Amino acid sequence: MSLEQLYLALLAGGLVLLAGVVGTRVAHGAGLPSLLLFLALGVLLGESGIGIDFDDAGLARNLGTAALAVILVEGGLTTKWSDVRRVIAPAGALATLGIVVSLVVTAAGAHYLMGFDWQLALLLGAIVSSTDSAAVFSVLRVLPLPRRVAGLLEAESGFNDAPTVILVLLFSAVPLLFEPGHLLLSLIYQLGLGALIGVGVGWLGAVVLPRVALPASGLYPLAAFGLGFVAFAAAGAAQASGFLAAYLAGVVLANSGLPHRSATRSFAEGLGWLAQIGLFVLLGMLVSPARLPVEVVPALVVGLVLLLLARPLSVVLSLVWFRVPLREQVFLSWAGLRGAVPIVLATFPVVQGVPGSQRLLDIVFVLVMVFTVVQGPSLRPLARWMGLIPREATREIQVEAAPLDVLDAELLSMEVPPGSAMHGVEVRELRLPEPGVVTLIIRDGRTFVPAPDTAVDNGDELFIVTTVAQRQATENRLRAVSRRGRLAHWFGEFGEPA
Protein backbone atom coordinates (compact mmCIF):
# COMPACT_ATOMS: atom_id res chain seq x y z
CA MET A 1 0.00 0.00 0.00
CA SER A 2 1.37 3.39 -0.99
CA LEU A 3 1.19 6.46 1.21
CA GLU A 4 -1.56 7.90 -0.99
CA GLN A 5 -3.63 4.74 -0.59
CA LEU A 6 -3.00 4.80 3.15
CA TYR A 7 -4.26 8.38 3.38
CA LEU A 8 -7.39 7.50 1.40
CA ALA A 9 -8.04 4.47 3.61
CA LEU A 10 -7.62 6.55 6.77
CA LEU A 11 -9.88 9.26 5.34
CA ALA A 12 -12.58 6.72 4.55
CA GLY A 13 -12.21 5.15 7.98
CA GLY A 14 -12.45 8.52 9.71
CA LEU A 15 -15.57 9.47 7.75
CA VAL A 16 -17.20 6.12 8.56
CA LEU A 17 -16.35 6.58 12.23
CA LEU A 18 -17.82 10.08 12.31
CA ALA A 19 -20.94 8.89 10.50
CA GLY A 20 -21.30 6.15 13.12
CA VAL A 21 -20.89 8.60 15.99
CA VAL A 22 -23.55 10.91 14.54
CA GLY A 23 -25.77 7.90 13.91
CA THR A 24 -25.75 6.93 17.58
CA ARG A 25 -27.67 10.10 18.36
CA VAL A 26 -30.38 9.24 15.84
CA ALA A 27 -30.65 5.68 17.14
CA HIS A 28 -30.74 6.84 20.75
CA GLY A 29 -33.63 9.19 20.05
CA ALA A 30 -35.59 6.38 18.38
CA GLY A 31 -34.86 3.89 21.17
CA LEU A 32 -32.97 1.60 18.78
CA PRO A 33 -29.61 -0.10 19.28
CA SER A 34 -27.05 1.77 17.21
CA LEU A 35 -26.10 -1.46 15.47
CA LEU A 36 -28.94 -0.95 12.98
CA LEU A 37 -27.44 2.22 11.57
CA PHE A 38 -23.94 0.75 11.58
CA LEU A 39 -25.10 -2.37 9.74
CA ALA A 40 -26.94 -0.21 7.22
CA LEU A 41 -23.79 1.87 6.77
CA GLY A 42 -21.85 -1.31 6.06
CA VAL A 43 -24.41 -2.40 3.47
CA LEU A 44 -24.16 1.06 1.86
CA LEU A 45 -20.40 0.69 1.60
CA GLY A 46 -20.64 -2.86 0.24
CA GLU A 47 -21.01 -4.29 -3.23
CA SER A 48 -24.59 -3.04 -3.72
CA GLY A 49 -23.76 0.49 -2.55
CA ILE A 50 -20.47 2.26 -3.07
CA GLY A 51 -19.04 -0.99 -4.37
CA ILE A 52 -16.46 -2.22 -1.85
CA ASP A 53 -16.17 -5.96 -2.49
CA PHE A 54 -15.73 -7.80 0.81
CA ASP A 55 -16.60 -11.48 1.09
CA ASP A 56 -13.87 -12.87 3.34
CA ALA A 57 -15.85 -14.71 6.04
CA GLY A 58 -12.65 -15.88 7.74
CA LEU A 59 -11.34 -12.34 8.18
CA ALA A 60 -14.78 -11.19 9.34
CA ARG A 61 -14.83 -14.00 11.92
CA ASN A 62 -11.37 -13.15 13.27
CA LEU A 63 -11.94 -9.39 13.41
CA GLY A 64 -15.43 -9.94 14.82
CA THR A 65 -14.09 -12.17 17.57
CA ALA A 66 -11.50 -9.55 18.53
CA ALA A 67 -14.16 -6.81 18.51
CA LEU A 68 -16.46 -8.90 20.70
CA ALA A 69 -13.58 -9.32 23.16
CA VAL A 70 -13.26 -5.52 23.33
CA ILE A 71 -17.02 -5.15 23.88
CA LEU A 72 -17.03 -7.75 26.67
CA VAL A 73 -14.03 -6.19 28.43
CA GLU A 74 -15.83 -2.84 28.19
CA GLY A 75 -18.99 -4.45 29.55
CA GLY A 76 -17.07 -5.85 32.49
CA LEU A 77 -15.28 -2.57 33.24
CA THR A 78 -18.60 -0.68 33.28
CA THR A 79 -20.52 -3.25 35.35
CA LYS A 80 -21.16 -2.48 39.02
CA TRP A 81 -20.79 -5.55 41.20
CA SER A 82 -23.47 -4.19 43.53
CA ASP A 83 -25.96 -4.36 40.63
CA VAL A 84 -25.22 -7.96 39.62
CA ARG A 85 -24.05 -9.86 42.70
CA ARG A 86 -27.58 -10.74 43.79
CA VAL A 87 -28.53 -11.98 40.33
CA ILE A 88 -25.46 -14.10 39.56
CA ALA A 89 -27.36 -17.36 40.07
CA PRO A 90 -30.40 -16.53 37.89
CA ALA A 91 -28.13 -14.94 35.26
CA GLY A 92 -26.04 -18.11 35.22
CA ALA A 93 -29.20 -20.20 34.79
CA LEU A 94 -30.33 -18.02 31.86
CA ALA A 95 -26.86 -18.25 30.28
CA THR A 96 -26.75 -22.07 30.49
CA LEU A 97 -30.12 -23.78 30.88
CA GLY A 98 -31.83 -20.90 29.08
CA ILE A 99 -29.46 -21.26 26.12
CA VAL A 100 -30.17 -24.98 25.84
CA VAL A 101 -33.96 -24.53 26.02
CA SER A 102 -33.92 -21.71 23.48
CA LEU A 103 -31.63 -23.71 21.17
CA VAL A 104 -33.82 -26.83 21.23
CA VAL A 105 -37.11 -24.99 20.68
CA THR A 106 -35.74 -22.76 17.91
CA ALA A 107 -34.02 -25.67 16.17
CA ALA A 108 -37.24 -27.71 16.29
CA GLY A 109 -39.16 -24.81 14.76
CA ALA A 110 -36.58 -24.37 11.98
CA HIS A 111 -36.63 -28.10 11.22
CA TYR A 112 -40.35 -28.79 11.28
CA LEU A 113 -41.68 -25.46 10.01
CA MET A 114 -39.04 -24.51 7.44
CA GLY A 115 -37.56 -27.90 6.52
CA PHE A 116 -33.96 -27.23 7.60
CA ASP A 117 -31.82 -30.32 8.09
CA TRP A 118 -30.89 -30.95 11.71
CA GLN A 119 -27.34 -29.60 11.50
CA LEU A 120 -28.45 -26.25 10.06
CA ALA A 121 -31.41 -26.16 12.46
CA LEU A 122 -29.17 -26.77 15.48
CA LEU A 123 -26.68 -24.20 14.23
CA LEU A 124 -29.42 -21.62 13.73
CA GLY A 125 -30.84 -22.32 17.19
CA ALA A 126 -27.40 -21.97 18.80
CA ILE A 127 -26.50 -18.82 16.86
CA VAL A 128 -29.61 -16.85 17.85
CA SER A 129 -30.06 -18.27 21.35
CA SER A 130 -27.89 -15.76 23.24
CA THR A 131 -28.68 -12.14 23.96
CA ASP A 132 -26.23 -9.61 22.54
CA SER A 133 -24.05 -7.76 25.02
CA ALA A 134 -23.52 -4.68 22.81
CA ALA A 135 -27.25 -4.28 22.13
CA VAL A 136 -28.20 -4.86 25.77
CA PHE A 137 -25.59 -2.46 27.15
CA SER A 138 -26.45 0.32 24.68
CA VAL A 139 -30.25 0.14 25.11
CA LEU A 140 -30.92 -0.89 28.70
CA ARG A 141 -28.45 1.48 30.35
CA VAL A 142 -30.57 4.44 29.25
CA LEU A 143 -33.76 2.96 30.75
CA PRO A 144 -34.52 3.64 34.43
CA LEU A 145 -35.18 -0.03 35.16
CA PRO A 146 -35.02 -1.60 38.62
CA ARG A 147 -31.47 -2.65 39.40
CA ARG A 148 -32.45 -6.30 39.68
CA VAL A 149 -33.85 -6.41 36.14
CA ALA A 150 -31.10 -4.36 34.49
CA GLY A 151 -28.38 -6.25 36.37
CA LEU A 152 -29.89 -9.61 35.41
CA LEU A 153 -30.00 -8.74 31.71
CA GLU A 154 -26.48 -7.31 31.71
CA ALA A 155 -25.01 -10.29 33.55
CA GLU A 156 -26.83 -12.74 31.27
CA SER A 157 -25.55 -10.99 28.14
CA GLY A 158 -22.02 -11.01 29.55
CA PHE A 159 -22.13 -14.71 30.42
CA ASN A 160 -24.06 -16.33 27.59
CA ASP A 161 -21.68 -15.61 24.72
CA ALA A 162 -19.28 -18.23 26.08
CA PRO A 163 -21.54 -21.33 25.98
CA THR A 164 -23.05 -20.17 22.69
CA VAL A 165 -19.64 -20.03 20.98
CA ILE A 166 -18.85 -23.53 22.26
CA LEU A 167 -22.12 -24.92 20.90
CA VAL A 168 -21.75 -23.23 17.51
CA LEU A 169 -18.23 -24.63 17.09
CA LEU A 170 -19.38 -28.14 18.02
CA PHE A 171 -22.32 -28.04 15.60
CA SER A 172 -20.05 -26.67 12.84
CA ALA A 173 -18.10 -29.92 12.64
CA VAL A 174 -18.24 -31.69 9.26
CA PRO A 175 -19.55 -34.34 9.53
CA LEU A 176 -21.65 -33.56 12.61
CA LEU A 177 -20.91 -35.95 15.49
CA PHE A 178 -23.28 -35.33 18.39
CA GLU A 179 -22.03 -36.88 21.64
CA PRO A 180 -23.90 -35.56 24.71
CA GLY A 181 -21.24 -36.70 27.17
CA HIS A 182 -18.44 -35.02 25.24
CA LEU A 183 -20.53 -31.87 24.86
CA LEU A 184 -21.18 -31.65 28.60
CA LEU A 185 -17.53 -32.20 29.52
CA SER A 186 -16.42 -29.62 26.97
CA LEU A 187 -18.84 -27.03 28.37
CA ILE A 188 -17.71 -27.67 31.95
CA TYR A 189 -14.02 -27.48 31.04
CA GLN A 190 -14.20 -24.39 28.87
CA LEU A 191 -16.52 -22.39 31.13
CA GLY A 192 -14.81 -23.43 34.36
CA LEU A 193 -11.27 -22.75 33.19
CA GLY A 194 -12.32 -19.54 31.45
CA ALA A 195 -13.91 -18.27 34.67
CA LEU A 196 -10.80 -19.15 36.70
CA ILE A 197 -8.47 -17.39 34.25
CA GLY A 198 -10.69 -14.29 34.08
CA VAL A 199 -11.02 -13.94 37.84
CA GLY A 200 -7.33 -14.73 38.34
CA VAL A 201 -6.09 -12.13 35.86
CA GLY A 202 -8.53 -9.56 37.24
CA TRP A 203 -7.40 -10.23 40.81
CA LEU A 204 -3.73 -9.99 39.81
CA GLY A 205 -4.35 -6.64 38.15
CA ALA A 206 -6.31 -5.39 41.16
CA VAL A 207 -3.37 -6.23 43.41
CA VAL A 208 -0.59 -4.88 41.20
CA LEU A 209 -1.98 -1.76 39.50
CA PRO A 210 -2.70 0.29 42.68
CA ARG A 211 0.91 -0.33 43.77
CA VAL A 212 2.48 0.75 40.48
CA ALA A 213 3.15 4.47 40.08
CA LEU A 214 2.69 4.90 36.33
CA PRO A 215 4.02 8.18 34.87
CA ALA A 216 0.68 9.20 33.31
CA SER A 217 -2.92 8.66 34.42
CA GLY A 218 -3.88 7.69 30.86
CA LEU A 219 -1.81 4.51 31.20
CA TYR A 220 -4.12 3.02 33.83
CA PRO A 221 -7.07 2.54 31.42
CA LEU A 222 -4.68 1.01 28.90
CA ALA A 223 -3.36 -1.36 31.54
CA ALA A 224 -6.88 -2.39 32.54
CA PHE A 225 -7.83 -3.14 28.94
CA GLY A 226 -4.53 -4.93 28.41
CA LEU A 227 -5.31 -7.24 31.32
CA GLY A 228 -8.73 -7.99 29.84
CA PHE A 229 -7.11 -8.99 26.57
CA VAL A 230 -4.52 -11.10 28.40
CA ALA A 231 -7.36 -12.99 30.06
CA PHE A 232 -9.14 -13.42 26.71
CA ALA A 233 -6.05 -14.65 24.87
CA ALA A 234 -4.78 -16.86 27.70
CA ALA A 235 -8.13 -18.61 28.00
CA GLY A 236 -8.34 -19.06 24.24
CA ALA A 237 -4.83 -20.52 24.11
CA ALA A 238 -5.86 -23.00 26.82
CA GLN A 239 -8.92 -24.05 24.75
CA ALA A 240 -11.17 -22.39 27.34
CA SER A 241 -13.77 -19.63 26.98
CA GLY A 242 -11.97 -16.38 26.22
CA PHE A 243 -15.24 -14.41 26.16
CA LEU A 244 -16.12 -15.39 29.74
CA ALA A 245 -12.55 -14.71 30.88
CA ALA A 246 -12.53 -11.24 29.30
CA TYR A 247 -15.85 -10.24 30.88
CA LEU A 248 -14.98 -11.52 34.37
CA ALA A 249 -11.53 -9.92 34.30
CA GLY A 250 -13.19 -6.59 33.53
CA VAL A 251 -15.75 -7.03 36.32
CA VAL A 252 -13.07 -7.85 38.91
CA LEU A 253 -10.87 -4.92 37.85
CA ALA A 254 -13.74 -2.41 37.78
CA ASN A 255 -14.89 -3.26 41.29
CA SER A 256 -11.55 -3.50 43.09
CA GLY A 257 -10.81 0.16 43.79
CA LEU A 258 -8.46 0.80 40.88
CA PRO A 259 -6.96 4.30 40.58
CA HIS A 260 -8.56 6.65 38.03
CA ARG A 261 -11.74 4.60 37.88
CA SER A 262 -13.75 7.31 36.12
CA ALA A 263 -11.11 7.74 33.42
CA THR A 264 -10.94 3.97 32.96
CA ARG A 265 -14.70 3.74 32.59
CA SER A 266 -14.79 6.58 30.04
CA PHE A 267 -11.92 5.07 28.06
CA ALA A 268 -13.64 1.65 28.08
CA GLU A 269 -16.89 3.11 26.80
CA GLY A 270 -15.10 4.94 23.99
CA LEU A 271 -13.14 1.86 22.93
CA GLY A 272 -16.30 -0.25 23.15
CA TRP A 273 -18.11 2.14 20.81
CA LEU A 274 -15.17 2.04 18.39
CA ALA A 275 -15.30 -1.77 18.37
CA GLN A 276 -19.06 -1.76 17.81
CA ILE A 277 -18.88 0.67 14.90
CA GLY A 278 -16.08 -1.22 13.18
CA LEU A 279 -17.69 -4.61 13.80
CA PHE A 280 -21.17 -3.72 12.57
CA VAL A 281 -19.92 -1.89 9.49
CA LEU A 282 -17.72 -4.88 8.64
CA LEU A 283 -20.63 -7.31 9.02
CA GLY A 284 -22.86 -5.08 6.92
CA MET A 285 -20.28 -5.17 4.11
CA LEU A 286 -20.09 -8.97 4.32
CA VAL A 287 -23.77 -9.48 3.46
CA SER A 288 -25.06 -9.26 -0.11
CA PRO A 289 -28.41 -7.39 -0.15
CA ALA A 290 -29.47 -9.16 -3.35
CA ARG A 291 -29.71 -12.45 -1.45
CA LEU A 292 -31.71 -11.12 1.49
CA PRO A 293 -35.30 -10.80 0.12
CA VAL A 294 -35.72 -14.55 -0.37
CA GLU A 295 -34.76 -15.15 3.27
CA VAL A 296 -37.30 -12.77 4.79
CA VAL A 297 -39.96 -15.44 5.35
CA PRO A 298 -37.60 -17.99 7.00
CA ALA A 299 -36.14 -15.21 9.16
CA LEU A 300 -39.60 -14.06 10.26
CA VAL A 301 -40.78 -17.59 11.06
CA VAL A 302 -37.66 -18.49 13.04
CA GLY A 303 -37.66 -15.08 14.73
CA LEU A 304 -41.28 -15.45 15.84
CA VAL A 305 -40.58 -18.92 17.23
CA LEU A 306 -37.61 -17.46 19.12
CA LEU A 307 -39.42 -14.36 20.37
CA LEU A 308 -42.81 -15.80 21.25
CA LEU A 309 -41.96 -19.35 22.30
CA ALA A 310 -38.27 -20.18 22.78
CA ARG A 311 -37.19 -17.11 24.74
CA PRO A 312 -40.23 -17.00 27.09
CA LEU A 313 -39.96 -20.74 27.76
CA SER A 314 -36.23 -20.46 28.48
CA VAL A 315 -36.86 -17.59 30.92
CA VAL A 316 -39.64 -19.44 32.76
CA LEU A 317 -37.71 -22.72 33.07
CA SER A 318 -34.45 -20.98 34.06
CA LEU A 319 -36.04 -18.80 36.75
CA VAL A 320 -38.47 -21.35 38.21
CA TRP A 321 -36.28 -21.71 41.34
CA PHE A 322 -35.85 -17.96 41.78
CA ARG A 323 -38.50 -15.62 43.07
CA VAL A 324 -38.73 -13.41 40.02
CA PRO A 325 -42.12 -11.69 39.63
CA LEU A 326 -44.15 -12.55 36.54
CA ARG A 327 -44.03 -9.00 35.18
CA GLU A 328 -40.22 -9.07 35.31
CA GLN A 329 -40.18 -12.43 33.53
CA VAL A 330 -42.38 -10.98 30.78
CA PHE A 331 -39.97 -8.07 30.32
CA LEU A 332 -36.91 -10.36 30.40
CA SER A 333 -38.53 -12.49 27.69
CA TRP A 334 -39.12 -9.52 25.40
CA ALA A 335 -35.79 -7.82 26.14
CA GLY A 336 -33.65 -10.66 24.77
CA LEU A 337 -32.04 -8.47 22.11
CA ARG A 338 -29.96 -9.94 19.29
CA GLY A 339 -27.22 -8.03 17.54
CA ALA A 340 -23.65 -8.47 16.36
CA VAL A 341 -22.97 -11.72 18.23
CA PRO A 342 -25.35 -13.88 16.14
CA ILE A 343 -24.02 -12.41 12.88
CA VAL A 344 -20.41 -13.05 13.93
CA LEU A 345 -21.30 -16.58 15.04
CA ALA A 346 -22.99 -17.18 11.68
CA THR A 347 -19.58 -16.78 10.01
CA PHE A 348 -18.15 -19.75 11.95
CA PRO A 349 -19.97 -22.49 9.95
CA VAL A 350 -19.22 -20.57 6.72
CA VAL A 351 -15.50 -20.78 7.49
CA GLN A 352 -15.87 -24.48 8.43
CA GLY A 353 -17.56 -25.18 5.10
CA VAL A 354 -20.90 -26.42 6.46
CA PRO A 355 -23.28 -26.95 3.50
CA GLY A 356 -25.96 -24.23 3.41
CA SER A 357 -24.17 -22.02 5.93
CA GLN A 358 -24.08 -18.98 3.60
CA ARG A 359 -27.87 -19.01 3.59
CA LEU A 360 -27.76 -19.25 7.37
CA LEU A 361 -25.75 -16.02 7.51
CA ASP A 362 -28.34 -14.19 5.39
CA ILE A 363 -31.23 -15.46 7.54
CA VAL A 364 -29.52 -14.36 10.75
CA PHE A 365 -28.80 -10.92 9.30
CA VAL A 366 -32.45 -10.37 8.33
CA LEU A 367 -33.66 -11.72 11.67
CA VAL A 368 -31.43 -9.36 13.63
CA MET A 369 -32.43 -6.32 11.59
CA VAL A 370 -36.19 -6.97 11.70
CA PHE A 371 -36.56 -7.97 15.34
CA THR A 372 -34.25 -5.23 16.62
CA VAL A 373 -36.57 -2.72 14.97
CA VAL A 374 -39.53 -4.43 16.67
CA GLN A 375 -38.05 -4.95 20.14
CA GLY A 376 -35.80 -1.93 20.66
CA PRO A 377 -38.35 0.93 20.57
CA SER A 378 -40.95 -1.13 22.47
CA LEU A 379 -38.84 -1.74 25.59
CA ARG A 380 -39.64 1.55 27.32
CA PRO A 381 -43.44 1.37 26.73
CA LEU A 382 -43.45 -2.28 27.82
CA ALA A 383 -41.46 -1.53 30.97
CA ARG A 384 -43.83 1.31 31.84
CA TRP A 385 -46.91 -0.83 31.11
CA MET A 386 -45.55 -3.63 33.32
CA GLY A 387 -44.96 -1.15 36.14
CA LEU A 388 -41.17 -1.45 36.02
CA ILE A 389 -40.76 2.25 35.25
CA PRO A 390 -42.94 4.48 37.45
CA ARG A 391 -44.77 7.35 35.78
CA GLU A 392 -42.71 9.75 37.86
CA ALA A 393 -39.60 8.53 36.04
CA THR A 394 -40.50 10.70 33.05
CA ARG A 395 -39.94 13.70 35.33
CA GLU A 396 -36.84 12.32 37.09
CA ILE A 397 -33.71 14.40 36.97
CA GLN A 398 -30.86 12.92 34.97
CA VAL A 399 -27.48 12.93 36.71
CA GLU A 400 -24.22 12.28 34.87
CA ALA A 401 -20.63 12.35 36.05
CA ALA A 402 -17.39 13.71 34.64
CA PRO A 403 -14.05 12.54 36.12
CA LEU A 404 -12.18 14.78 38.57
CA ASP A 405 -9.90 12.06 39.92
CA VAL A 406 -7.14 14.44 40.95
CA LEU A 407 -9.44 16.04 43.54
CA ASP A 408 -11.29 12.81 44.34
CA ALA A 409 -14.36 14.72 43.23
CA GLU A 410 -17.04 14.49 40.59
CA LEU A 411 -18.96 16.98 38.48
CA LEU A 412 -22.69 16.28 38.36
CA SER A 413 -25.05 17.80 35.86
CA MET A 414 -28.84 17.90 35.94
CA GLU A 415 -31.56 19.61 33.96
CA VAL A 416 -34.59 20.83 35.88
CA PRO A 417 -37.56 19.17 34.11
CA PRO A 418 -40.89 20.92 33.44
CA GLY A 419 -43.18 20.74 36.44
CA SER A 420 -40.33 20.11 38.88
CA ALA A 421 -40.85 21.27 42.46
CA MET A 422 -37.31 22.69 42.28
CA HIS A 423 -38.69 25.67 40.32
CA GLY A 424 -38.33 28.81 42.45
CA VAL A 425 -36.06 27.21 45.04
CA GLU A 426 -33.02 29.33 45.88
CA VAL A 427 -29.55 27.78 45.57
CA ARG A 428 -28.91 28.01 49.32
CA GLU A 429 -32.24 26.28 49.97
CA LEU A 430 -31.02 23.19 48.14
CA ARG A 431 -28.90 22.48 51.26
CA LEU A 432 -26.56 20.09 49.47
CA PRO A 433 -24.39 17.80 51.64
CA GLU A 434 -20.97 19.31 52.35
CA PRO A 435 -18.85 20.05 50.39
CA GLY A 436 -21.31 20.02 47.47
CA VAL A 437 -21.78 23.33 45.68
CA VAL A 438 -23.64 24.58 42.59
CA THR A 439 -20.85 26.03 40.46
CA LEU A 440 -22.65 27.01 37.23
CA ILE A 441 -26.12 27.40 35.80
CA ILE A 442 -27.00 27.42 32.10
CA ARG A 443 -30.27 29.27 31.44
CA ASP A 444 -31.59 30.02 27.96
CA GLY A 445 -28.13 29.51 26.50
CA ARG A 446 -26.49 31.88 29.03
CA THR A 447 -23.94 30.57 31.55
CA PHE A 448 -23.47 32.24 34.94
CA VAL A 449 -22.24 31.55 38.47
CA PRO A 450 -25.22 31.57 40.82
CA ALA A 451 -25.42 33.56 44.03
CA PRO A 452 -26.85 31.97 47.19
CA ASP A 453 -30.20 33.72 46.59
CA THR A 454 -30.41 32.76 42.87
CA ALA A 455 -33.74 31.03 42.21
CA VAL A 456 -33.77 27.92 40.06
CA ASP A 457 -36.04 27.90 36.98
CA ASN A 458 -37.53 25.09 34.94
CA GLY A 459 -35.16 24.20 32.10
CA ASP A 460 -32.05 25.29 33.99
CA GLU A 461 -29.00 23.04 33.74
CA LEU A 462 -27.12 22.91 37.03
CA PHE A 463 -23.50 21.85 37.51
CA ILE A 464 -22.62 20.62 40.98
CA VAL A 465 -19.18 19.66 42.30
CA THR A 466 -19.10 17.15 45.14
CA THR A 467 -16.84 14.42 46.47
CA VAL A 468 -17.06 10.78 45.51
CA ALA A 469 -18.09 9.90 49.06
CA GLN A 470 -21.00 12.40 49.03
CA ARG A 471 -22.19 11.81 45.49
CA GLN A 472 -25.06 9.50 46.41
CA ALA A 473 -26.28 11.81 49.19
CA THR A 474 -26.11 14.77 46.80
CA GLU A 475 -28.08 12.94 44.12
CA ASN A 476 -30.71 11.94 46.70
CA ARG A 477 -31.09 15.53 47.90
CA LEU A 478 -31.49 16.81 44.32
CA ARG A 479 -34.16 14.18 43.64
CA ALA A 480 -35.96 15.01 46.85
CA VAL A 481 -36.12 18.75 46.10
CA SER A 482 -37.14 18.04 42.50
CA ARG A 483 -40.07 15.97 43.76
CA ARG A 484 -41.31 17.90 46.82
CA GLY A 485 -39.50 21.24 46.93
CA ARG A 486 -37.38 22.92 49.57
CA LEU A 487 -39.23 21.22 52.46
CA ALA A 488 -38.92 17.74 50.95
CA HIS A 489 -37.61 16.15 54.16
CA TRP A 490 -40.60 17.48 56.09
CA PHE A 491 -42.83 15.52 53.73
CA GLY A 492 -40.82 12.34 54.18
CA GLU A 493 -39.18 12.57 50.75
CA PHE A 494 -35.48 11.64 50.83
CA GLY A 495 -34.85 11.20 47.12
CA GLU A 496 -34.35 7.45 46.89
CA PRO A 497 -34.06 6.30 43.26
CA ALA A 498 -37.37 5.27 41.71
The whole-number pLDDT of residue 393 equals 46
CA gap 252, 266 in Å, rounded = 17
Percent of the chain at pLDDT above 70? 89
Q: Return the percent helix, strand and coil in the chain, to nearest 5.
A: 65, 5, 25
Architecture of the domain spanning 397-491: 2-Layer Sandwich (3.30)
pLDDT > 90? residue 197: yes
- Taking only the tens place, the pLDDT of each residue in 452-480 is 999 999 999 999 998 888 888 999 999 99
Min mean pLDDT across 122-126, 342-346, 417-421 is at 342-346
Percent of the chain at pLDDT above 90? 21
- Taking only the tens place, the pLDDT of each residue in 296-348 is 999 999 999 999 999 999 999 999 888 888 888 998 888 887 777 888 888 88
The whole-number pLDDT of residue 336 equals 80
Dihedral sign for Cα 298, 300, 306, 312, please.
Answer: negative
User: In terms of C-beta distances under 8 Å and separation of at least 24 residues, what long-range contacts does 466-471 make, across chains too?
Assistant: 466/409, 466/410, 466/412, 466/432, 466/433, 466/435, 466/436, 466/437, 467/408, 467/409, 467/410, 467/435, 467/436, 468/408, 468/409, 468/410, 470/433, 470/434, 470/435, 470/436, 471/401, 471/410, 471/412
Q: Which of 211-215, 238-242, 270-274 has the highest mean pLDDT?
A: 238-242
pLDDT > 70? residue 256: yes
Specify the higher pLDDT residue, 338 or 361: 361
φ, ψ of residue 256 in degrees (nearest 5): -115, 15
Dihedral sign for Cα 205, 211, 213, 218, please.
Answer: positive
Beta strands at 446-448 and 409-415: parallel, antiparallel or unpaired: unpaired
User: Which residues are within 8 A (CB) of 31 and not within 5 positions of it... i.e. 6 or more apart?
Assistant: 139, 376, 377, 379, 380
pLDDT > 50? residue 121: yes
The whole-number pLDDT of residue 31 equals 52
The whole-number pLDDT of residue 480 equals 92
- pLDDT-derived band at 200 (thresholds 50, 70, 90) equals very high
Specify the higher pLDDT residue, 30 or 168: 168
Specify the higher pLDDT residue, 32 or 143: 143
Specify the higher pLDDT residue, 141 or 195: 195
The whole-number pLDDT of residue 178 equals 64
Give the mean pLDDT of the chain. Answer: 82
φ, ψ of residue 289 in degrees (nearest 5): -60, -25
Mean pLDDT of 359-363: 88
Mean pLDDT of 276-293: 80
- pLDDT-derived band at 141 (thresholds 50, 70, 90) equals low
Q: Identify whether 298 is preceded by a cis peptide bond (ω within 30 of 0).
A: no
* Helix segments in 133-215, DSSP class H: 133-140, 147-159, 161-171, 180-208
- pLDDT-derived band at 35 (thresholds 50, 70, 90) equals low
The whole-number pLDDT of residue 234 equals 93
pLDDT > 70? residue 402: no
Mean pLDDT of 119-144: 78
Specify the higher pLDDT residue, 46 or 412: 412
- Taking only the tens place, the pLDDT of each residue in 49-84 is 676 777 777 888 888 888 888 888 888 887 777 777
The whole-number pLDDT of residue 134 equals 66
The whole-number pLDDT of residue 297 equals 92
**What CA–CA distances, in Å, run from 384 to 337, 389, 403?**
18, 5, 32
Specify the higher pLDDT residue, 400 or 140: 140
CA gap 495, 437 in Å, rounded = 18
Q: Are 457 and 416 in contact (CB under 8 A)?
A: yes
pLDDT > 50? residue 392: no
pLDDT > 70? residue 249: yes
CATH class of residue range 3-385: mainly alpha
Start-end of CATH 1.20.1530.20 domains in the chain: 3-385
Min mean pLDDT across 137-151, 183-197, 463-477 is at 137-151
The whole-number pLDDT of residue 395 equals 42
Start-end of CATH 3.30.70.1450 domains in the chain: 397-491
The whole-number pLDDT of residue 255 equals 83
Q: In what order do the strands lie in the sheet with 437-443?
A: 400-404, 409-415, 461-467, 437-443, 446-448
Dihedral sign for Cα 449, 451, 456, 462, please.
Answer: positive
